[in-house]
């Protein structure tokens, strides 16, 4: 079955994943095999061309909570089809389109227009896109990152970010902060 990776950021990460294969479990050959099995849709026109596929296929696209990105265009075309399955692979924050779909919403609003949800909506909750706070703490302690490096937390719910900041301050030698909304970090 054809598989399309329709997310510029995910494609960039996949490229980086393969470039640094010596830092994870997959060999260079395994990374190349993985990439050969997927069609990367790097441009908007390639993404739009997926809509012409009349046969079964898999589209992997962000965003994870269905709040933006190319996935919305695919949803507009496919959510009303009972033969479609939407598979979320992570946490869906309350109020997001993804959470509403998982709760059984009969329709969702996309780009100002309502679309019926007849697709089967599922979730795999055991997958996570990141380590938990204990794994992050352990990784930082074992890393060769200089303890003079300042850490800025930039993604997550405000309460969780503050909790992680306090935990890391107390359990590592790093200076840890939480980036302000719309702040610009210069690296």
* φ, ψ of residue 184 in degrees (nearest 5): -110, 125
175's enclosing H/E stretch is: strand 175-178
Whether 59 contacts 4, CB under 8 Å:
yes
Give the 3-state secondary structure of residue 47. Answer: helix
pLDDT, tens digit only, all 187 positions of the chain: 999 999 998 899 888 888 888 888 888 899 889 889 999 999 999 999 998 888 999 999 987 789 998 999 999 999 999 999 999 988 888 899 999 999 999 999 999 999 999 999 999 877 766 778 899 999 899 888 888 889 999 988 889 999 999 999 999 999 999 999 888 988 7
Residue that the structure tokens 């060769």 belong to: 144
The backbone region for 26, taken as left when phi is positive above 0, alpha when psi lies in -120 to 50, beta otherwise, is beta
Judge residue 101's burial from the number of C-beta atoms within 10 Å of its C-beta, 0-12 exposed, 13-18 middle, 19 or more buried.
buried
Provide, for the chain, the percentages of residues in helix, strand and coil under a 3-state DSSP scheme, each rounded to the nearest 5: 40, 15, 45
Q: Where are the domains of the chain?
A: 3-123, 133-178
* Model pLDDT, residue 168: 95
pLDDT digits (tens, 9 = 90+) for 131-161: 788 999 998 998 888 888 899 999 888 899 9
Q: Could you give the residue ranges of the DSSP H alpha helices within 37-104? A: 44-49, 71-78, 97-102
* Model pLDDT, residue 118: 98
Cα distances (angstroms) measured from residue 73 to each of 16, 21, 53, 66, 159: 26, 33, 14, 11, 32
Residue that the structure tokens 């494609």 belong to: 11
Tell me which of 3.40.50.10890, 3.30.2420.10, 2.20.28.120, 3.40.50.10860 is the CATH number of domain 3-123. 3.40.50.10890
What's the whole-model pTM score?
Answer: 0.72
* Model pLDDT, residue 125: 79
Six-digit token string for 166: 């306090």
183-91-22-26 Cα dihedral, nearest 10 degrees: -160
């Amino acid at each position: 079955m054809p598989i399309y990776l329709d997310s510029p950021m995910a494609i960039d990460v996949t490229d980086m994943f393969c470039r640094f294969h010596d830092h994870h479990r997959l060999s260079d050959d395994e990374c190349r095999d993985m990439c050969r099995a997927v069609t990367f849709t790097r441009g908007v026109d390639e993404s739009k061309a997926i809509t012409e596929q009349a046969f079964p296929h898999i589209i992997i696209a962000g965003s994870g909570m269905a709040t933006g990105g190319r996935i919305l265009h695919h949803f507009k075309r496919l959510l009303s089809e009972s033969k479609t399955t939407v598979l979320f692979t992570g946490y869906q924050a309350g109020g997001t389109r993804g959470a509403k779909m998982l709760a059984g919403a009969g329709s969702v609003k996309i780009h100002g227009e309502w679309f019926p949800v007849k697709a089967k909506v599922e979730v795999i909750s055991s997958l996570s896109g990141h380590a938990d706070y204990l794994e992050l703490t352990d990784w930082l302690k074992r890393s060769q990152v200089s303890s003079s490096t300042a850490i800025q937390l930039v993604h997550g719910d405000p309460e969780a970010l503050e909790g992680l900041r306090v935990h890391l301050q107390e359990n590592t030698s790093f200076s840890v902060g939480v980036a302000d909304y719309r702040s610009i970090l210069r690296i």
